[in-house]
Amino acid sequence: MVERSVIGGMPLWAGQGARIGGRWRPAGGGAVACGEVSRVLLPWTSWRWGGLALLVSTRGGGLSGISRGKSEQGLCCTPKTAPGDHLLLGLDTSSRAMFSEQAAQRAHTLLSPPSASNATFARVPVVTYTNSSQPFRLGERSFSRQYAHIYATRLIQMRPFLVSRAQQRWGSGVLVKKLCELQPGEKCCVVGTLFKAMPLQPSILREVSEEHNLLPQPPRSKYIHPDDELILEDELQRIKLEGTIDVSKLVTGTVLAVLGSAGDDGKFLVEDHCFAGLAPQKPACPLDTDRFVLLVSGLGLGGGGGESLLGTQLLVDVVTGQLGDEGEQCSAAHVSRVILAGNLLSHNTQSRDSINKAKYLTKKTQAASVEAVKMLDEILLQLSASVPVDVMPGEFDPTNYTLPQQPLHPCMFPLATAYSTLQLVTNPYQATIDGVRFLGTSGQNVSDIFRYSSMEDHLEILEWTLQVRHISPTAPDTLGCYPFYKTDPFIFPECPHVYFCGNTPSFGSKIIQGPEDQTVLLVAVPDFSTTQTACLVNLRSLACQPISFSGFGAEDEDLGGLGLGP
Amino acid sequence: MGRKRLITDSYPVVKRREGSAGHSKGELAPDLGEEPLPLSVDEEELELLRQFDLAWQYGPCTGITRLQRWHRAEQMGLKPPPEVHQVLQSHPGDPRFQCSLWHFYPL
């Protein structure tokens, strides 16, 4: 096969594109490139990849990363397109801010012939970076301890914050009492840890109890029930809570202050309650140029679908500057860091069939995660050759299950660890990038709270954890956690500027203001394997923009019958 | 027939009180109003450590050594008694001093 360089195609400009199946992606500031399909380079097969073929020329001729890398695998377009057709690859930067505006300024280069001199763009260097995830690193681990220690330290550490918030809210004369000092009928404030007694919560004791002879419960999406009860515990006693408190919204492990009085029946009648609120925040030093951090989560490799691989490769190519004309490449050079927030491997790599099958059937088969990790290594190699990457493990990744998850081992990435730009970090992850404090998790804390609370929106849950001043209050109860004894590292010592969580069903972002001039950008990073969307955070303006990398998706199954052609 | 043979006969009799019957059944509880006899220095220190273990203000005591618990209490600002720290420092490596009251019980 002769490789010939593809020339920038017919005069297409924003607003037009090739028609494939009667639909096309309007360029609108997002068009990456256009060009000619070369029959030589794209072998005809009847197999379609995501319904869209690409790729085309970048400035300076030659082929871009996608088809160069993938032509051996038969990347192709639908059989009906003929050479000479022009295909448009759309990059949907829908919110028309920052990234695409910068790109549009240089868009005139899209339609002119390749320039004689190749334009090069140097990536913005990271001015300052410090990794502050040290509290989440576990050295030697000992599991011969009970979880009472983590609850005791949580209460002891949070008590002063709650007492000061209670005094701010209900007046400095409010009586703060312990449960053992309660007098019936006296209005006072009590600080303690919540416990929610849920009949639907999966209980191992009920499962193994022979007298009940119960079958294990099927997993549900939410375990809340109208009969749930809230119980407040402090160091010595516990008391049932009733009154104006939203039982379905709160979860076990939250430390809060309640105002009310003890009734004669031994229950506490709540009039009002408050949380510890946002931690104090150090202001970020303002930056003078636009710098972006790309947040992606849920790459889901090894999942068996070709659609997400296309999206992943597009993402890598955009970040490494191999897609787009000079405007897009210049914008991509302003991306100073990429954070992969968990679930790099797909849920399918975790199949336990090999445990149930006989040994002689599974002897020569490899675990599905081996192939997936090799793919991940290649992707990380491409990324880390160009940009600093932080890789956080997630729920389905080969590391420990309990929080805090330790970094993936570098022996799994023999190619990518050659670059010092690759950083394998913990989950949760905390770092200061160019003066902006980032804190985030791979989403297990938020999805666990989602299961046991009536809150529906993942962004709302993320904001709630910030108000409660604890990253994952359900941690030892329903979410696995290491038995810490000295401190509870999940309490926010100070408020971050960007707080994110990965693997949410959809993108969400919000800026919240705290009572003491704190400003936090909350980002719910969506699952890339289903939504093909990543998030771009602008460090200068603290705004977040989604970028989606989808081709014509799986819903366009029937492109063949829709009259393609010139 | 002499007196009954008790299982506790296999243990050595420790005479703590002068004039006691030397009965291996154990000491009788002191009558009210009687002052407990002074214990040896070791016994006093162990008693101090046991009281530190049972104090609820400093958190749970199981699963960690007394020194770890003391340091945790100090870092959290709970002001644990410095005498406990001195006792622990003067007997390093002795499991009767360093390990908590319940350390023979698993978890």
- B57 neighbourhood in chain A, CB within 8 Å: 235
- Give residue A97's pLDDT band: very low, low, confident or very high (50, 70, 90): very low
- B71 neighbourhood in chain A, CB within 8 Å: 486
The closest CB to that of B62, out of A146, A153, A156, belongs to A146
Can you tell me the mean pLDDT for A243-268?
92
Can you tell me the mean pLDDT for B16-25?
54
Q: Please state, in angstroms and rounded to a whole number, the distance separating the CA atoms of residues A548 and B4.
A: 89
The pLDDT assigned to A53 comes to 34
> Does B32 reside within a domain?
no
- Give residue B3's pLDDT band: very low, low, confident or very high (50, 70, 90): confident
CB contact under 8 A, B76 and A144: no
Q: Tens of pLDDT along A499-530?
A: 999 999 999 999 999 998 999 999 999 999 88
CB contact under 8 A, B56 and A485: no
| Sign of the C-alpha dihedral computed for residues A86, A118, A416 and A440 taken in this order | negative
> Into how many domains does chain B fold?
1
- Give residue A288's pLDDT band: very low, low, confident or very high (50, 70, 90): confident
The pLDDT assigned to A36 comes to 37
The closest CB to that of A149, out of B57, B60, B106, belongs to B60
CB contact under 8 A, B76 and A153: yes
* pLDDT reading at B79 higher than 80: yes
Can you tell me the mean pLDDT for A355-375?
78
- Give residue A33's pLDDT band: very low, low, confident or very high (50, 70, 90): very low
Nearest to A545 by CA among A101, A127, A106, A110: A101
3-state secondary structure A96-149: CCHHHHHHHHCHHHHCCCCCCCCCCCCCCCCCCEEECCHHHCCCCCCCCCCCHH
| Residues A401 and A412 sit within 8 Å (Cβ to Cβ) | no
Tell me the residue range of the domain where B92 lies: 38-106
The alpha helices in A145-286, defined as continuous H runs, are 148-170, 204-208
**A474: Cβ contacts below 8 Å, ≥ 6 apart:** A251, A252, A253, A445, A448, A449, A452
- Higher-scoring residue by pLDDT: A359, A517: A517
Can you tell me the mean pLDDT for A89-97?
35
Only one residue has tokens 């006693």, namely: A237
The pLDDT assigned to A308 comes to 67
The closest CB to that of A156, out of B63, B76, B106, belongs to B76
With an 8 Å Cβ cutoff, is A145 touching chain B?
A: yes
> Does B100 reside within a domain?
yes
* pLDDT reading at A21 higher than 80: no
The pLDDT assigned to B5 comes to 82
- A236 neighbourhood in chain B, CB within 8 Å: 56
Residue of B nearest to A153 (CA): B59
Distance of CA A430 to the CA centre of its chain: 14
Percent over 90 (pLDDT), chain A: 49
The closest CB to that of B60, out of A144, A148, A157, belongs to A148
Among A90-94, A235-239, A339-343, the range scoring the smallest mean pLDDT is A90-94
Question: What are the two backbone dihedrals, phi and then psi, of residue A341, each rounded to the nearest 5 degrees?
Answer: -95, 65
* pLDDT reading at A309 higher than 60: yes
> Does B18 reside within a domain?
no
Query: CA dist A216 to A130, A204, A213, A558, Å?
Result: 46, 9, 9, 43
The pLDDT assigned to B99 comes to 86
Can you tell me the mean pLDDT for B31-45?
69
The pLDDT assigned to A219 comes to 79
- Give residue A12's pLDDT band: very low, low, confident or very high (50, 70, 90): very low
| Residues A445 and A500 sit within 8 Å (Cβ to Cβ) | no
For A433, the enclosing helix (H) or strand (E) is strand A429-433
With an 8 Å Cβ cutoff, is A153 touching chain B?
A: yes
Residue count of chain A, please give it: 566
User: Minimal Cα–Cα distance from B65 to chain A, Å?
Assistant: 11
Query: CA dist A442 to A296, A343, A394, A416, Å?
Result: 10, 7, 5, 21
Q: Please state, in angstroms and rounded to a whole number, the distance separating the CA atoms of residues A40 and A6.
A: 11
Give the mean pLDDT of chain A. 77
